[in-house]
Structure formats: structure tokens, C-alpha cells
Amino acid sequence: MTSTMPTDRNEERRRRVLLGPLPAGFLRADGTTDTVDADYQAALALQQQLSGATVPPAGPPLTARLSITIAQAKLSKNYGLTRMDPYVRLRVGHCIYETHTDPSGGRTPRWNKVIHCLLPPGVNSIYLEIFDECSFTMDELIAWAHITIPPAVLQGETYDNWFSLNGKQGDGKEGVINLVLSYSVGPAAVATFPPMLVVPSTGMGYAAMPMYSAPQPQPHMPPQQPPPPPITAEQLQQIEEMFPSIEKEVIKSVLEANGGNKDATINSLLQMSE
């Protein structure tokens, strides 16, 4: 009797043993596995990210693109001694873009420059400035504008309109500029323009330059020539007599810009008087 009791108990325990692979909910009170699976997947993704493994993306990333056509402008005043040579500097977010200069564009410059740029999240306006390109002095700021992107553009419509310009004449009194705006959202692609680095500058306070640009070969520099002798008051008077229609201060400024070189000054003044 005593020897059969342990044998019976061992047989009962063997019948209760579960053979084969353990279920996913083993040792869980409620028997559910959803939370465990979700935690496992999150931990696996984090481990792959930290180890540098490639995790398949959920979908292609999307980018917002803004297309801006700077067509033309009608300015209120000519600020140059001759016809102005205007160009436009445009800022979208922290990137700066520029048009080419319209030589002798005067008060009715035309550019027809198309700019394709990325529209950063939260940016809903653009800034532009119009400069007169100068040969011997810093480029002069003619007009500027802060333009809010119309809601119709963000809804996919092409927007063609004239926008008022601010300047020395007052807000909205410096003329108008014609812009064509369009907007699209699509999969991210390799940018067709180099990334831009914003650095302090004049004007709007920003200037842009390409990042990671390859070093350019330096041209051979000829030996530096000794500076020309300083021009005398008599020579200055001779130049003033040659160009009576140009103010004396302008002649003096051109002379200083040419380092006192009489021949170079005369050539510059001849170009200005054409």
C-alpha cells in the first residue's frame, strides 16, 4: 500500500505534463499576446535602428515644392544715374535665390526666371528685394515686398498676379511685380539644386552659398603691378572738362574706384555716358 502511493502520484503528474512547443501566452494570466507582440516589434525596430540595420519604411516620404516664376516688374522711379540694371533676390524659408540682371531694364525690367524650391513646414510667405546692380559701388536696394502665399496656391491652383512693392516712396508705392506661383506635394527626390547655407549679409540679412562645394582650381595670378601715381588736381580738372554732363562727385567716386588710374576712369565714364 505504501509503495503504490508514490507510483500513482507520478503517473498523475505525467498525464498533466504538456508536451511540444509552448504557446505564445504561456505564463500570462489573461492568455493574450497582442501587447507582447507589439512590444517585441517596437523593441526589434529600435534595436535595428541603433545597430545601423535598414528598416523598411512604411511609405515614401513626401515633400512640398513651390514653383515661383519672377516674370517682370513695373517700378515707380529710376534711382540710377543712367538706366537701372535690376535683379531680384528671393528668400523662401532660410534659402536665398537670385535672378539674372536685366541690363538697362530701367523701370520695366523683365526676368522670366523660374525658381523651384522646397517649402519647409510652417513657411507660408516669401520675401523679395529688387536691387540695381552697380559697377563701382554696392548694389542699391530699390524695392522690397513680403508676400503671403495665397491659400489657392496651397490647394493646387496656379496663381498669376501682380504684387505691390515697398520702398523709399512708401509702402505699396514703389511699383508692382508679376509672380506666378504653383504648389505640389510628391515623393521626395534628389534635389536639382545644391543645399544652401545661410550666412549673415546685407539687405534682408541673409545670403546663401552651396554647402560641400568642391574646391575650384585657382587661376594663375600675374605678378602684382605697382599702383599708378596719384592723379593731380589739374588732371582731375581735365577729366571734369571732358565730361561736363556728369557731376564732379560722380567723377571723383569713379576715379577713386579705379585707384586713381586716369585712363581707366575715362573708359568707365565713357561707358556711363553712352
Q: What is the pLDDT of residues 173-231, one digit of tens each?
A: 999 999 999 998 877 654 444 444 443 334 444 444 443 434 444 554 555 556 656 66
**Range name among 48-62, 129-143, 253-267 with the lowest pLDDT average:** 48-62
For residue 56, what pLDDT is reported?
Answer: 47
Strand, helix or coil for residue 144: strand
Alpha helices (runs of H) in the chain, residue ranges in sequence order? 4-16, 34-51, 151-154, 233-242, 248-257, 262-273
- Within the chain, all domains assigned CATH 1.10.8.10 are found at 233-273
Looking at 3.40.1160.10, 3.30.413.10, 3.30.70.270, 2.60.40.150, the CATH number of the domain 62-210 comes to 2.60.40.150
Strand order in the sheet with 110-118: 110-118, 62-75, 175-187, 159-164
Whole-prediction pTM: 0.50
The answer to whether residues 193 and 92 touch, using CB atoms and an 8 Å cutoff, is no
Are the beta carbons of 179 and 68 closer than 8 angstroms?
yes
Percent of the chain with pLDDT over 90: 33
Every domain range in the chain assigned CATH 2.60.40.150? 62-210
User: Which CATH superfamily includes the segment(s) 233-273?
Assistant: Ubiquitin-associated (UBA) domain (1.10.8.10)
Q: 137-168 as b/e, with b when 16 or more CB fall inside 10 Å?
A: eebebbbbbebebeeebbeeeebeeebebbbe
Give the model confidence (pLDDT) of 236-262 as tens digits: 787 777 777 777 777 777 777 777 777
CA 126 – CA 9 distance, rounded (Å) = 85
Given this model, what pLDDT does residue 98 score?
Answer: 93
CA 138/CA 204 separation, integer angstroms = 15
